[in-house]
Chain A
Amino acid sequence: MPGGPGLQSTQPSAQPKSSLQQKYVFKNSKVSIMNKVMPILLLLCACVSILTTIGIVFTLVTETYNFFKTIPVFDFLFGTKWSPLIPPKSFGILPLLSGTLLITVIACLVAVPIGLASAIYLSEYAPTKVRKIIKPILEVLAGVPTIVYGYFALGVITPVIQWLFPSAGIFNALSAGIVVGIMIIPMVSSLSEDAMSAVPRSLRDGAYALGATRFEVALKIVVPAALSGIVSSAVLAFSRAIGETMIVTLAAGSTPNMTLNPLNSIQTMTAYIVQVSLGDTPHGSIEYGSIFAVGMTLFVLTFLLNILAQYIARRFREEY
């Protein structure tokens, strides 16, 4: 018998057929260390993600707390002037917030209709061959680095906007907003399409059997059935646009500005953080602290939006 644990007989039996004299002992002399140790090591790996979250929250909270020792919370949250470097220094976040929101709204106005329409087309209209080509193309769009989009905004979209609206400056919210929107289209499209694919075929078949046209099935049956997933994807798109950095840094400008006019130059929260980091900000100074205060605002906003998106997807999902 090849090496290893197993049968230990107390005495060899005279008759090969009798087995009661042999007592089976199922015992292994070797103890497997790996089997005991590996689960612990693997758990530690899994805990890295928890540590990351703790790290983010801890860092933001402590530094923001320090910041608020100097700058009153009320002034920060409701102040309308953001001038951290140029005296008279003022740390009201509303201009950055409004700049971020302006970009985000423009981006969603671009991404949600186009993304949803693409999803409807791919899910309800497109023949398989077309789907096989278009879907990968949209995935490629999703994989393009944001700095490349930034270049695109500066080099192509901004000149077009300036040509259409001569009053627009080189840095304007519209250009950045449009490109952020383009970047987000694949996200809305693929999440909405997933939601629509989850709608069972039988619902569509029932409608077609009654004589409905494709758009009626799409708009009156499928979209309402997939609505929770579609809305959730829009919320996620909103969150993604808020967190976008490089496109807005390159194309939207660095002038904190509370304006509704998309042709103006503005500054978003993310662009501000980049601006301060590129400069020589002494550690511990109030400008350094402002990075964390703005970062905290950003984190809280995106976090809440992501939770909202998950809640919508779960709570209002039609179970089939």
Chain B
Amino acid sequence: MNIFEDANRKQIAGRRRMDFILHILFVIATSIGVIALCALIIDILVDGVARLNPDLFNNFPSRKADGSGMKSAIVGSIYMLLIMAPISFIFGVGAAIYLEEYAGKNRLTRLIQLNISTLAGVPSIVYGILGLAIFVRLFALERSLIAGALTMTLLVLPIIIVSAQEAIRAVPRSRRDASFALGATKWQTVSRSVLPSSMPGILTGVILAMSRAIGETAPLVMIGALTYVAFLPSSLKDSFTVIPIQVYNWLSKSKAEFHELAASGIIVLLVLLLLMNLSAILLRNKYQKKGL
């Protein structure tokens, strides 16, 4: 008896056809994401490449599109990152160490963890509202660089805490055991063994947090990062602007030349992001090779 005789060929063929069709549909769906990304990049490059000249980096924005630059925005973004990075690192990594190494399994710990994951889901504009009320008004920091940096620190803190926690958790128990068995105190084990081992993962998280911060617009609009800044901030309390806000400013104008400028500003932003993310990937790869 041939076991294939009973097979309902028609039905199987029908199901196979369905599988084929759906496979194609799924591929198309997945491609939409990819195509959208390509379209986005191509469009921006086409629009903005023409205005990628030294003026963009050397000049301040002006009323005329030709000769307008974004020096103040680039410098403002970089200053903001430089202020944010150490503050968010200390508080973020500190919180992560506490949660992973010291916190007991009690209510306070669960509350803090829950709190952090809730904060990660809060829209960025709400952080702007918080920054406006607390840093700008309550602490009377005005619409300043420091107010902006502090607000953005709060925004990215959950990101840093979560990735630092993961990095610390990844350090195997045996490493801690070895350290304790040699007579180390808890803090010695954390600072001499756990932290060095988890530092690459932590730094990767910090870089990713910074790249999120550099692209944010809404919270800084709320803080009052000005849209027209024709000077470089020289102190923490100076007003400032950042690249996304400068781009927004140009986009809000009606003339097409300003839209081209906006596109070139976006290219600058994307290149910065690319560099940051590449360094995060390189960092991760370098330490994966070391077997950490």
Contact = CB atoms under 8 A, between A and B. Distances in A.
B218 A274 contact: yes
B125 A298 contact: yes
Nearest to A244: B123
Interface in A92-125: 113-114, 117-118, 120-122, 125
A144 B40 contact: yes
Interface string A141-168: 1011111111110111000000000000
A270 to B, nearest CB: 5
Contact of B94 (A41, A50, A182, A242): A41
Contacts of B125: 243, 245, 270, 273-274, 295, 298
A171 B218 CA distance: 19
A43 B94 CA distance: 8
The 9 closest A-B pairs by CB, nearest first: A243-B123, A145-B215, A45-B94, A117-B29, A42-B98, A121-B26, A46-B95, A245-B218, A59-B133
Interface stretch (B53-61, B112-120, B171-179): B112-120
A277 B215 CA distance: 19
Contact of B129 (A125, A149, A292, A306): A292
B110 interface: no
Interface in B177-224: 185-188, 190, 211-212, 214-218, 221-222, 224
A44 B117 CA distance: 18
Given A35-B188, A213-B19, A48 B270 contact: no
Interface stretch (A17-25, A75-83, A132-140, A198-206): A132-140
B12 to A, nearest CB: 8
Interface residues on B, range: 35 or more
Given A45-B95, A151-B251, A215-B23, A56 B115 contact: no
Interface in B93-144: 93-95, 97-99, 102-103, 111-112, 115-119, 121-130, 132-134, 137
B103, B211, B251, B252 — most chain A CB neighbours (10 Å) = B251
B266 interface: yes
A49 B218 contact: no
Contact of A278 (B22, B221, B247): B221
Contact of A49 (B19, B95, B134): B95
B248 A32 contact: no
Interface of B: 15-16, 18-19, 22-23, 25-27, 29-30, 32-34, 36-37, 39-40, 43-44, 47, 90-95, 97-99, 102-103, 111-112, 115-119, 121-130, 132-134, 137, 154, 157-158, 161, 185-188, 190, 211-212, 214-218, 221-222, 224, 227, 244, 247-248, 251-252, 259, 262-263, 266, 269-270, 273, 277
Contacts of A274: 125, 218, 221-222
B277 A143 contact: yes
19 contacts: A35-B186, A38-B187, A39-B98, A42-B98, A45-B91, A52-B119, A56-B130, A117-B26, A117-B29, A118-B30, A121-B23, A140-B37, A145-B214, A147-B215, A185-B36, A213-B19, A245-B217, A292-B129, A306-B121
Contacts of A239: 121
Nearest to A34: B187
A48 to B, nearest CB: 5
A180 to B, nearest CB: 12
B185 A59 contact: no
Nearest to A299: B126
Contacts of B103: 46
A29 interface: no
A60 B129 contact: yes
A125 B263 CA distance: 37
A285 to B, nearest CB: 14
Contacts of A53: 115, 118-119
Contacts of B132: 277, 291
Contact of A145 (B37, B122, B157, B217): B217
B39, B123, B130 — most chain A CB neighbours (10 Å) = B123
A13 B177 CA distance: 34
A32 B181 CA distance: 17
Contacts of B90: 45
A60, A245, A250 — most chain B CB neighbours (10 Å) = A245
Given A32-B185, A156-B43, A277 B247 contact: no
Given A45-B95, A48-B154, A145-B216, 10 more contacts: A55-B133, A60-B129, A140-B37, A147-B269, A185-B36, A243-B125, A245-B218, A274-B222, A303-B122, A306-B118
Nearest to B116: A49
A155 B224 contact: no
Contacts of B25: 117
Contacts of A249: 248
Given A46-B95, A52-B130, A145 B218 contact: no
A35 B88 CA distance: 23
A140 B33 CA distance: 10
Contacts of A182: 33, 36
B140 to A, nearest CB: 12
A60, A113, A156 — most chain B CB neighbours (10 Å) = A156
B217 A137 contact: no
A277 B221 contact: yes
A265 interface: no
A51 B171 CA distance: 29
